Chain A
Amino acid sequence: MKHLKSLNKKAQLINKAISPEEVEDVVAMQTVVGCTATTDPGWELDPFGGLGSLCQPMESDLYGCADACWWPAQVPDTMNTYPDWNKDVAKANEDWRKLDGIYEDGE
């Protein structure tokens, strides 16, 4: 699959899929490097290749997802890897400006 556009085509297919099994069948999709293809829920894209089924705004349910290390390559998992990531940010939807990235020694 080469283009995001074709993801959208797949999205239409998924929209037509009726049973949950059928959805499971098509969720493994590819996306741009750096994004996660875990889409239930997704971080960048929903299982339909769109944005409509994401937790939006992302700040509203961020910790529900970060605790469960749902997207450990995009959102620090606070369960095992970066327990202190959000310790000063009790409510992400109010204090989202304080959320910082994890920058490793990286040159």
Chain B
Amino acid sequence: MALNNNRLKRVLMGTGALALAGLLSPAALATDAQEIIRDRCLACHTESSDAANSTFSRISDQRKTPEGWHMTLNRMEHLRDAKISAQEKRELIKYLSDTQGLAPEEAAPFRYLLEQDTNLVESGVDENLMQMCARCHSAARFGLQRRTLDEWQMLVDFHMAQFPGIELHAGSRDRPWYQLAHNETSAQLSEQYPLDTPEWNNWSKAKKVDLKGRWRVTGYVPGKGEFSAWMTAATDDDGRYNLKLEGNYADGAVIEGSGKATVYTGYEWRGTLTIDSVKMRQVMAADKDGQVMAGRMFLAMEDEIGGELRAVKDTGKAQVVAVMPSYLKAGESAELVIVGQNLDGDIDLGDGVRIDEVIARSKDRIVVTATATGTPAVNDVQVGSADSTVALAVFDQVARVDVTPTNAVTRIGGNGGEMEKVRATYRAIGYSAGADGEAGTDDDVRLGYMPASWSIEPVDEVAEHDKDHLYAGEITPAGMFIPGDAGPNPERKMSANNVGRLNVVATVDDGDSKVEGRGSMLVSVPDFVERVLD
């Protein structure tokens, strides 16, 4: 499968600000950054100083993520015509997100947006904020910001001035939208997302752990599969990390790449690597001890195409970090790859799992064939005295299959036009029924990602009548959905576009039976506005 889509412009336009920002010493960075603000921003913003520090109007009373600051600076350039060089912009993003960023706990509920993992329906959004705010863009866009009441109000005023139609939409015209937004919604936001929080107070004072070193990395690349690798992060002169990544996909094929990373706010890892000659980005959050990072890696040119990514620091300790696959059917044999570091000693996959052969073994990767002789159970994977939280699920039956993403949007494109198709990749997750023997209940046991065959079907009679499944696109055997061509289609009623509402169906073979799972897919028209954060 071709991993590259031609959405080149996004990359060509990019200055690579987030992964490429250099870090001078913090003190030098602070003076430099404040000088940049004085030079570049004070034509419109103002500075007030007291003995201790300087504050800048509209800038000092808000906190946001590196991407959030990036977006604001882009608007200052595009709409306000601020002049700022690419290098100055990187330094400002770094400085602002270090000194006015989000604490790990504050960003945690919304990491999907930072990870560009947007094929999902946001959950738990307050109904009022949903109606007033999360109608045009995600709720995470503001959930990832902290402001004073004044600053929330000025944000509302900016919206009103920039998008006057905001009062006329359904959901606005039934109420005095602006008054409500300015008075009540802003107050609600300043309570829910205030500038000063104990979390930020603690985090901004906490000692940050240097993330240089050797990391045991596991992840997934669509079309290639699961992989395990070593990634070394070495400090460069400019304070960034030079990255080298080397390892294997589950089938043994080599994965290799190198690149750069910058860490923001002490824990926000942003990497850009060229892996197997494709440019990819990493967005991860480090835990407080700087021992584990988790997030996502995706194509720089097509951020919908990616997979989860996890990195565990090599501290010299023995540790099991993954087993691939994470399940074994009772009564059957299979090849399993145990991934870890500094592994020594006996391999133990639990009672009722017999190791037939060790096919390959090193300190960080062990390949075995094993047979499940016992009954269904969730077993610890152990190697000598290594730390392990990794489990192997022995199961008798796949009772349920979930399709991920459960909800997705793809977009028509191509056909000679400027807009590229927006694709989506799918995976199937198998579950056994658990103790109650009933699928779809809380005690279902997650077995892990399973190979599946893929198909699409219309979502209902209307979609079937409009032949959405014939026009809107197709899915490859590897589970990549490719939407239809852009443009009016004379074959369709009213020359409709090749849009459609589909189910994506995964069929998993489990012995003699087949188990199906479904996800909803909306094939839609292009999104002409690509912002740093949806």
Residues on the B chain within 8 Å of A23, using CB:
170
Cβ of A33 under 8 Å from chain B: yes
Query: Which residue of chain A has its CB nearest to the CB of B128?
Result: A28
CB distance from A54 to the nearest CB of B (A): 8
Q: Give the residues from 199 to 221 in chain B that come closer than 8 angstroms, CB to CB, to chain A.
A: none
Cβ of B136 under 8 Å from chain A: yes
Cβ of A97 under 8 Å from chain B: yes
Which of A85, A96, A101 contacts B487, CB < 8 Å? Answer: A96
CB distance from A7 to the nearest CB of B (A): 9
CB distance from A105 to the nearest CB of B (A): 6
Q: Which of B22-30, B149-157, B406-414 contacts A (4 or more CB under 8 A)?
A: B406-414
Q: How far is A27 from B131 in the complex, measured between Cα atoms in Å?
A: 9
CB distance from B266 to the nearest CB of A (A): 21
Number of contact residues on B: which range applies?
Answer: 35 or more
CB distance from B122 to the nearest CB of A (A): 6
Q: How far is A73 from B9 in the complex, measured between Cα atoms in Å?
A: 19
Residues on the A chain within 8 Å of B495, using CB:
56-57, 60
Q: How far is A96 from B412 in the complex, measured between Cα atoms in Å?
A: 13
Residues on the A chain within 8 Å of B198, using CB:
none
Interface 0/1 of A31-72, CB less than 8 Å to B: 111111111100111010011101011111000000011111
A32-B119, A81-B162, A99-B418 known; A39 vs B530 contact (CB < 8 Å): no
Do the beta carbons of B122 and A33 come within 8 Å of each other?
yes
Do the beta carbons of B135 and A70 come within 8 Å of each other?
no
Do the beta carbons of A3 and B407 come within 8 Å of each other?
yes
CB distance from B180 to the nearest CB of A (A): 14
Q: Which of B11-19, B50-58, B321-329, B383-391 contacts A (4 or more CB under 8 A)?
A: B11-19
Residues on the A chain within 8 Å of B140, using CB:
33
Cβ of B10 under 8 Å from chain A: yes
CB distance from A17 to the nearest CB of B (A): 13
Query: Which residue of chain B has its CB nearest to the CB of A54?
Result: B499
Q: How far is A51 from B406 in the complex, measured between Cα atoms in Å?
A: 19
A-side interface residues, number (CB < 8 Å): 61
Residues on the A chain within 8 Å of B77, using CB:
105
Q: Give the residues from 306 to 339 in chain B that come closer than 8 angstroms, CB to CB, to chain A.
A: none
Which of B168, B171, B489 contacts A28, CB < 8 Å? Answer: B171
Which of B9, B120, B459, B460 contacts A103, CB < 8 Å? Answer: B9
Interface 0/1 of B54-95, CB less than 8 Å to A: 000000000000000011001001110000001001000000
Do the beta carbons of B496 and A56 come within 8 Å of each other?
yes
Residues on the B chain within 8 Å of A24, using CB:
170-171, 174
Do the beta carbons of B497 and A58 come within 8 Å of each other?
yes
Cβ of B382 under 8 Å from chain A: no
Residues on the B chain within 8 Å of A34, using CB:
118, 138, 409, 527, 534
Most buried by A among B168, B496, B524, B534: B524
Do the beta carbons of A104 and B530 come within 8 Å of each other?
yes
Interface 0/1 of B412-435, CB less than 8 Å to A: 000111110000000000000000
Q: How far is A43 from B122 in the complex, measured between Cα atoms in Å?
A: 19
Do the beta carbons of A30 and B529 come within 8 Å of each other?
no
Cβ of A19 under 8 Å from chain B: no
Do the beta carbons of B121 and A33 come within 8 Å of each other?
yes
Cβ of B488 under 8 Å from chain A: yes
A34-B118, A80-B162 known; A101 vs B531 contact (CB < 8 Å): no
Do the beta carbons of A33 and B112 come within 8 Å of each other?
yes
The 8 closest A-B CB pairs, nearest first, are A4-B520, A57-B488, A107-B14, A33-B118, A97-B417, A100-B418, A40-B170, A56-B496
Please name 7 further chain A to chain B contacts, defined as beta carbons within 8 Å, in addition to the given A5-B520, A37-B130, A107-B20, sorted by A numbering. Answer: A28-B171, A38-B135, A44-B522, A57-B489, A74-B527, A74-B529, A106-B74
